[in-house]
Amino acid sequence: MFCEKIDLYQYFGLKRQGGEQGYLNTYLPEAPDYPTRVRPAMLVIAGGGYGFVSPREKECVALAYVSQGFAAFTLEYSVAPISFPAQLIEGAMAMAYIRENAAKLAVKPDKIAAVGFSAGGHLTGMLATCFDRAEVKAALKEKAALVRPDAVILSYPVITGGEKAHRGSFDNLCGDNTELVDALSLENCVTEQSSPAFIWATADDNAVPSENSLFMALAYKTAGVPFELHIFESGVHGLSLATEETSWINEPVQKWVSLSVTWLKNRGFVLSD
């Protein structure tokens, strides 16, 4: 496996203001100099309430998708006290980097997905719905056209800034800017151009209420954008793969990985010679 850490700010010629992350880690089954298969790609965006980036939702998830025929990547993005739009710009840079370097990475440029967890699900949801915001266009110029994921997996995602909000995530991302909270409440951002989505959560999540996922699914239904929704009966927040490796074992919830892979394969995310 070929692993590399890419400084996205350096690659795109952007200056850090101080303390930003913005690094992309690669998990390529074959070294770029000797590609033998062309693969779909998966960008993994861990959660952490925009206050940290959870290691339980990074490399292990990337390797789970590698085992299913994907080239995988993990994003190290900025967290509080750094606020919006750094996180969206860093996610956008990651997507644009993968697509621009598709031939080198031996991935399909039109089969690049992203999977996000909790607040990372919010960032993934922003990539799916807010890829054309002015901040992205200002940072990436013409390369902003490379940002939109071809599909997203939203895992117990933070979605709404309203009544069922995970308030800590929005506080870290937006501070006391209530207008920005409303603007980044993702159920209000879905349009017919949004990326298709596979959404899952647990009904009794006591940190990010499952209504977040229901709101997003309803927004997708209203916009006429393809989606699939799974609400598992029970499970704590932050399950990741729901295996011993990721701290909490929940066998029913473990199925989300294979369900998402089947959904993606039905959308053409398959390994090719």
pLDDT tens, position by position, 130-188: 999 999 999 999 999 999 999 999 999 999 999 999 999 999 999 999 999 999 999 99
pLDDT digits (tens, 9 = 90+) for 71-109: 999 999 999 999 999 999 999 999 999 999 999 999 999
Report how far residue 133's alpha carbon sits from residue 206's, in angstroms, rounded to the nearest whole number: 32
Name beta bridge partners: 112. 41
Q: What is the DSSP letter of 246?
A: G
Q: Exposed (0-12), middle (13-18) or buried (19+): which is 13, by Cβ within 10 Å?
A: exposed
Say if CB 250 and CB 235 are below 8 A apart: yes
3-state secondary structure (DSSP) of residue 97 = helix
Measured in degrees and rounded to the nearest 5, phi and psi for residue 6 equal -110, 130
Q: What is the pLDDT of residue 33?
A: 67
Instruction: Name every residue whose Cβ is closer than 8 Å to that of residue 262 and which is 6 or more positions away in sequence.
Output: none
Taking the C-alpha atoms of residue 102 and residue 112, their distance in angstroms, rounded to an integer, is 9
Render pLDDT for 16-69 as a digit per residue (tens, 0 to 9). Answer: 999 999 999 999 987 666 667 899 999 999 999 999 999 999 999 999 999 999
Single out the residue of 161, 162, 156 nearest to residue 119, CA to CA. Answer: 156
| pLDDT score for 246 | 82
Q: Which amino acid is at 25?
A: N
pLDDT band at 248 (very low <50, low <70, confident <90, very high): confident
Distances (CA, A) of 267 to 76, 133, 201, 270: 27, 26, 22, 9
Cα(54)–Cα(223) distance, rounded to whole angstroms?
32
Distance CA 46, CA 60 (A): 11
